[in-house]
């Protein structure tokens, strides 16, 4: 009676072993197929976003500036109503296809009329200019700039700038002699403007902007009731070029 039972037991063990081997084999095959996919999903490669490039521009502006009262030299600076020419350049980082952020710099030697506060003789001015005379000064600007606007065709744009406007190296227009009684000064200033642009190509754009702004002059020794703010209007034309990016 034991022989049949032993034979039946051995057959059952063989069947069980064959089934186990098949399961193990199937598991190994499935693991081999899934392992690369799992590894690829778990090991994420770092992504690098594409740069939007840089814009540079160069151009000129017609500057119409209001009168400035300088208490330190007891003088007034009258720039008149005619535009004064200032050259301007920018360097801007493109944040996307329509937005840039950067810096702008401007320079020009401009005419003005020097006067004395209240019309009284001014010892800070040359003897030939104690109550007023024609003069020149270097007009500097340095600002941070935000710009929004773009497209493939004729389009509008918006600009906002903030920084400083400087007045340096005052000189008599008649003889070019420096006026040491007026010191160089830098005023906090800013502008807001809008304009139009037309792309000549994907990386070259012509733009025309009209902006309005104001500045705050030093209040040192200003007479009582005299304002320290001044206003400015700029009409700017520029050629913009793009480097790098898409």
Residues 131 and 31 in one domain: no
The encoded tokens of residue 44 equal 């994420």
pTM, two decimals, is: 0.76
The CATH number of the domain where 142 resides is what? 2.40.160.20
Residues 102 and 203 in one domain: yes
Residues 194 and 111 in one domain: yes
Residue ranges of the chain with pLDDT lower than 50?
A: 1-2, 9, 13, 16, 35, 38-39, 41-43, 45-49
State the Cα angle at 158 between 246 and 200, rounded to 5°: 45
Residues 194 and 129 in one domain: yes
Residues 124 and 23 in one domain: no
Q: List CB contacts of 57: < 8 A, sequence separation 6 or more.
A: 89, 90, 92, 207, 238, 239, 240, 241
**Residue 47 belongs to some domain of the structure:** no
**Residue 77 belongs to some domain of the structure:** yes
Please state the three-class secondary structure of 191-213 as a single string.
Answer: EEEEEEEEEEECCEEEEEEEEEE
Residues 38 and 62 in one domain: no
Distance in Å from the first CA to the final CA of the chain: 89
Residues 170 and 223 in one domain: yes
**Residue 49 belongs to some domain of the structure:** no
Residues 76 and 1 in one domain: no
Residues 73 and 160 in one domain: yes
Q: Report which of 52, 60, 63, 62 is spatially closest to residue 90, judged by C-alpha positions.
A: 60
In the Cβ-directed half-sphere of 61, how many Cα atoms lie within 13 Å?
Answer: 30
Residues 98 and 23 in one domain: no
- Give the per-residue pLDDT at 2: 47
Enclosing domain of residue 31: 1-42
- Give the per-residue pLDDT at 129: 81
- Give the per-residue pLDDT at 225: 84
Residues 78 and 184 in one domain: yes
**CA 178 to each of CA 10, 124, 136, 205: distance values in angstroms, whole numbers, following the listed order:** 118, 12, 9, 40
């Amino acid at each position: 009676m034991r022989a049949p039972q032993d034979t039946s037991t051995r057959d059952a063990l063989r069947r069980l072993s064959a089934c186990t081997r098949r399961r193990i084999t199937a598991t190994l095959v499935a693991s081999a197929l899934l392992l690369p996919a799992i590894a690829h999903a778990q090991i994420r490669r770092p992504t690098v976003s594409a740069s939007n490039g840089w814009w540079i521009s160069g151009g000129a502006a017609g500057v119409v500036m209001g009168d400035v009262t300088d208490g330190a030299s007891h003088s007034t600076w009258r720039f008149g109503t005619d535009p004064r020419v200032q050259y301007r350049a920018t360097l801007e980082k493109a944040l996307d296809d329509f937005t840039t952020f950067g810096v702008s710099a401007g320079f020009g030697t401009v005419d003005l009329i020097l006067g004395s506060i209240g019309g009284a003789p001014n010892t800070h001015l040359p003897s030939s200019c104690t109550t007023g005379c024609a003069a020149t000064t270097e007009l500097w600007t340095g600002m941070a700039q935000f710009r929004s606007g773009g497209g493939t065709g004729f389009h509008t744009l918006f600009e906002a700038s903030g920084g400083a406007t400087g007045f340096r190296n005052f000189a008599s227009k008649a003889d070019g002699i420096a006026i040491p009684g007026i010191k160089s000064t830098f005023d906090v200033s800013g502008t807001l403007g809008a304009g139009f642009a037309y792309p000549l190509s994907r990386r070259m754009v012509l733009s025309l902007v009209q902006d309005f702004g104001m500045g705050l002059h030093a209040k040192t020794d200003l007479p009582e009731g005299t304002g320290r703010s001044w206003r400015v209007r700029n009409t700017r034309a520029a050629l913009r070029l793009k480097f790098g990016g898409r």
